[in-house]
Chain A
Amino acid sequence: MMLARRFSWFGFAKALFLAISAAFALLPIVWGLSTALKTPQEIAAIPPSWIPHEATLINFHRGVFTPRFFNYILNTVYVIFFSTLITLGLAVHAAYAAVRFRFAGKRLMLLTMWSTIMIPAVAIIVPLYQLAVACGIYNTHLVLVLVYSAWLIPSLIWLLEGFVAAIPRDLEEAAYIDGCDVVGAFYRITCPLLRPGLVAGALLIFTNIWNEFILSYVLILSDEKRLVQVGIYNFMTDSSIEWGPLMATAVGAIVPILVVYAFLQRSFVRGLTGGIVK
């Protein structure tokens, strides 16, 4: 009897803790969404209300569905596309080599690769900016593609190594017997089997670049080349700040990530936790 009662108190405390935590997690998001759905009059009202009296999509019209914001989205998608191509293309080969090949200097090369994860973006952002100017690629999407790819490749190799190691060697060996060389076996046998890993990797690349702010803020100057996050920041610092459209763009920027997460949750979490916990 005692035991049962104590247990239920524990359960109650747990539910309360989860509820408060969920409220903490949701609070700013709900507020952003609520503001984005309000009319300009209601946004200006003091005291502000938590729930809009009449919901409107006008802020989305004026914030998200504008040529300017659409251009930011286009730029971001463009940069993500080429970064994904380069990052996955290079990382899948490197991960395969790291797991399956023996070659001269492998230890040193792997060590060099891993050591780069100890260099945070903020530590090289200033020289990157200077070097980009010196090389004449400052304020181009090319510099973002190169920097983003270099930033993401080590984590992608790490992620894909796990997927490569999970593929039985017998499959490749069978291909060798059938006359495939090492390159042929990699493209014909291994790569198709790595598809789940590549999907998880692509998601990781997409979310990281979509949400990245500081590098693209420093490396891109002109408004017509800006990516989404910097575009939103600029709306925010505009002198004529309009909270409704601004919150609509903020909410709008969350949507693609949410959609991706909702549909591919398992790949997503696998990409996030990678090799740490299998």
Chain B
Amino acid sequence: MLHATFWPSGTAAVRHLFFLPSLLLVGLVSFVPLGYALVQSFFRSKYFAIGRFVGIQNYIDLFTGDNGVGRVINTIIFVAGSLAIAMPLGIALALALNTKIWGRDLLRSILFLPWLISTLVAAMLWSWLLNAQFGPVAATAASLGISFPSLFTSPSLAMPTVVVVSAWYSYPLVMVFVLAALQTIPADLYEAAQIDGANALQRFAVITLPLIKNTILVSLVLTSLAAFNGVTLLFVMTGGGPIGRTETIALKVLQEGTKFYRMGLASAGSIVLFALNLAVTVAYARVLRGSHEGA
């Protein structure tokens, strides 16, 4: 109530002026293109002319057309694969870095490095590192008598390769988030549990895990959305090849819109991407709220 007494003399206009410019710019750059994509997705558009109305044909083409099903599968493998490596790795590294070890600060900085490097540079470095003809890994393998396969042109190996690179720059975020959460856990909780006779595993299950659960969830959502929406890595390393084996929905949107100029199809893909982002975020908010109530 004290606040009400002294509460600012600014008019309603002043208060709105603090918030509105941000909203205006963000809304303009976000919703106008999204609305434009929504409208365009119902038309067979090429280049800049809105073509004839085709109903949901673009959406049907996106999923049934050339490589339609494969693209969905690729997207799932790419996201799930990135998570399957980045999440356990990030969490394990955070747990290891949260203990007393020699050279901890240096190790943390080294392990954080991939996050500081742009996706473009990362894709470039890995491309050359793993190049079967000129790359050092292939040369080292050859000197040991192992023949190194051409990863980026192999239909079965291209996807696992890009997944590993995606995990390489995704795990540091998980690590930093979980480490920050771990450091907020007061040490006396563990001491009390130790006095009560809890072993290391029990202490982890009863104290650590519940307290970092939400942070893990947050980094899980951020990492999966980043993989889901990420195009730079695939664009630079494989361009969706070989024979469409690394083509995801996001990459398809980019290629249709900026290479083939089939704007209708690209827009349908845009709307699908947005819908999935929306679904993931809403589901995540539900889960997070649920876990807050449970706690």
Contacts and interface: CB of A to CB of B under 8 A. Distances in A.
Interface residues of B, number: 97
B120 A232 contact: yes
Contact of A176 (B9, B142, B180, B258): B9
Given A90-B22, A250-B124, A150 B29 contact: yes
A236 interface: yes
A72 interface: no
Contacts of A120: 225, 228-229, 250, 273-274, 277
Contacts of B125: 28-29, 31-32, 250
A128 B231 contact: no
A273 B180 contact: yes
Contact of B118 (A116, A123, A253): A253
Interface string B13-34: 0111111111101111111111
Contacts of A121: 229
Contacts of B184: 277-278
B208 interface: no
A127 B254 contact: no
Given A123-B253, A126-B258, 6 more contacts: A32-B121, A124-B37, A126-B37, A150-B30, A169-B3, A254-B118
Contact of B116 (A131, A154, A258, A277): A258
B101 A112 contact: no
Contact of B254 (A22, A49, A113, A122): A122
A163 interface: no
A118 B14 contact: no
A57 interface: no
A28 B30 CA distance: 35
A64 B170 CA distance: 28
A147 interface: yes
Contacts of A185: 8
B40 interface: yes
Interface residues of A, number: 99
Given A25-B113, A122-B250, A214-B235, A131 B36 contact: yes
Most buried by A among B9, B124, B229: B124
A204 interface: no
Contacts of B229: 120-123
A207 B180 contact: no
Contacts of B25: 86, 90, 146, 149-150, 153
B8 to A, nearest CB: 3
Contacts of B28: 150
Interface of B: 2-3, 6, 8-10, 12, 14-23, 25-34, 36-37, 40, 48, 89, 92-93, 96-97, 99, 101, 107, 109-111, 113-114, 116-122, 124-126, 128-129, 134-136, 139-140, 142-143, 168, 172-173, 176-177, 180-181, 184, 215, 218, 225, 228-232, 235-236, 250, 253-254, 256-258, 263, 266-267, 270-271, 273-274, 277-278, 281
A97 B215 contact: no
A182 B32 CA distance: 33
Most buried by B among A17, A28, A90, A254: A28
A139 to B, nearest CB: 14
A100 B99 CA distance: 40
A44 B116 CA distance: 29
A119 B89 contact: no
A125 B251 CA distance: 11
A35 B9 CA distance: 63
B273 A123 contact: yes
Nearest to A86: B25
Contact of B120 (A127, A229, A269): A229
Contacts of B277: 118-120, 123
A218 B96 CA distance: 41
A32 B127 CA distance: 11
30 contacts: A14-B99, A17-B92, A18-B93, A25-B111, A29-B117, A48-B134, A50-B136, A91-B22, A104-B12, A106-B19, A112-B23, A120-B277, A123-B37, A133-B48, A147-B29, A157-B22, A176-B9, A181-B9, A181-B10, A183-B10, A211-B119, A214-B232, A218-B258, A232-B121, A236-B124, A250-B124, A254-B118, A257-B116, A261-B109, A277-B177
Given A125-B257, A182-B9, A113 B26 contact: yes
B167 to A, nearest CB: 10
